[in-house]
Chains A and B, each alone.
Chain A
Amino acid sequence: MNLTLKVWRQSSPNATGRIETYEARDIPGEASFLEMLDIVNTGIIEAGGEPIHFDHDCREGICGSCSLAINGVPHSRENGITTCQVHMRKFREGDTIWIEPFRARAFPVIKDLMVDRSAFDRIIAAGGFIDVRTGSAPEANAIAIGKEDADEAFDAATCIGCGACVAACKNASAMLFVGAKAAHLNILPQGHPEKDKRVLAMVRQMDAEGFGNCTNQYECEAVCPKEISADVIAKLNRDYAAAVVREAVE
């Protein structure tokens, strides 16, 4: 398969980037999207050029390292998968593919298609944890948790922190990520005692990082590789309102 790639190239964080055109020749349909980039990069390196930089690690949809907006959509238009799980057979001979970094002020470009997503780490550090010494794993049934709660918490906990929600949002809002990370702890009894403190701290850090505000358009939900529902955002709004009221009166 032969394709035309329009790729964002940017040599350093402060350099001005631009779109460059590459021809991708003889790409096998069974190659993954990242393998396709590997093939193109081999060609670039053999010709003495600077390869296209992009983030990746597990290449099986679990680590959240890979990013890329493919034709303007983070992780491509296909539902429930990451960029590393996109296969080239989904494209047609002669297609032009636009490949850009996740765009948000809070995710500055490091080089080419790599962006700095450490703002997410700082949000987790602000409250995305439980403040107890965990030691070794406790007896599984020591605290009884209803099946509905367990499922809901688990669904939220599947977030891999990839940042696609931010990249898809017209406002670069991180509400789906923060909603998921707060919900998976807030729903469970272990996370309950620090619920208010957690929500207030995580939202404050989210705002400080320069993410935008949610306008309830749900672009995030449409691209999330783990198909996390925007219901976690409603829950975050609810928990935040309750936390503010309690903070004000208690």
Chain B
Amino acid sequence: MNALGKTLCRFWASSIGKKLVVAITGVMLVGFLLGHMTGNLLVYQGREDLNDYAYFLHHFLHGWGIWLARFGIIAAFVLHIIATISLTRQNRAARSSQYACETTVQASPSSRLMIWSGLTVIAFVIFHLFHFTVRVDPALASLKDPADPSRHDVYGMLIAGFQNPLIVLFYLVSITLLCSHLSHGIASIFQTLGLRTEKTRVPIERLGLAISVLLWIGFLSIPLLIVTGVLTDTEVTSMATPAVLSEPNP
């Protein structure tokens, strides 16, 4: 192997190297979440804006754009998972015996749940993709924008998709755990990248908390307002029952 390859292998094999991979992929994933949330909030602008946005996502760069973005996110997600599982296993092995009197002085509960909140996110992502991206439910897949029947009705899909309280509950639990992950993770990025100092310590902690709360409100307000009936489909009033929904729109 050449010298550069050797350096890279040693980097990946080292504790700090893997942590840097976790932090950099973490930055990418948090960036994705902020963008995704901002896009989602267009639901409050109404059907046309949200559907325009969805149309743009699927067609920019002649349809290549979304695949480039997806490829980047998937790569970051997979690297993040491989690195964190490997680090967690090493960490368990390094503390092979436990204290009979086990205590914690200042580690936050979120920081101690990282692997569990992360693994829940995997389950959530799979469900979420089948729910709204692959759309395994034909009732959701066949919705057409009333103003332009040639394109998918993302707005109507959200309203219909969040009528089931159990699904909303699953979103609530998963996003809450994701935001718990980030309440430790975002501040952690700065430490891992070596940017946390005495001066920046407090602002960084606040920033991490603020972004986590922002994402929590931004993501969860949508399903919660829909399931409670505050946000409804004004154009198709008969959409209240799923049975009607499963009929394809004219």
Contact = CB atoms under 8 A, between A and B. Distances in A.
A171 B188 contact: no
B4 A248 contact: yes
A106 interface: yes
Interface of A: 6, 8, 19, 69, 71-73, 77, 98, 100, 103-106, 168-173, 203-204, 206-207, 210-219, 221-223, 229-231, 233-241, 244, 247-248
Nearest to B103: A72
A216 B188 contact: yes
A47 to B, nearest CB: 24
A72 B94 contact: no
Contacts of A204: 10, 14
Contact of A6 (B11, B87, B100, B105): B100
Contacts of B7: 244, 247-248
Interface stretch (B70-78, B190-198, B228-236): B190-198
A171 B14 contact: no
B38 interface: no
A100 to B, nearest CB: 6
Contacts of B101: 6, 69, 71-72, 98, 100
Interface of B: 4, 7-8, 10-11, 13-20, 87, 90-91, 93-108, 111-112, 114, 184, 187-188, 190-198, 201
Secondary structure call for the A interface: mixed
Contacts of B198: 229, 231
B194 A237 contact: yes
B104 A219 contact: yes
Contacts, number: 147
A211 B94 contact: yes
B194 A241 contact: yes
Given A19-B100, A210-B93, A217 B4 contact: no
Query: Which 5 interchain pairs have the tightest Cβ spacing?
Result: A238-B194, A212-B94, A171-B91, A217-B107, A98-B101
B98 A203 contact: no
Given A211-B94, A213-B87, A213-B90, A236 B16 contact: yes
Contacts of B114: 215
Contacts of B106: 217-219, 221-222
A6 B196 CA distance: 40
B94 A210 contact: yes
Given A171-B94, A248-B7, A223 B191 contact: no
Nearest to A69: B99
Contacts of B105: 73, 77, 168, 219, 222-223
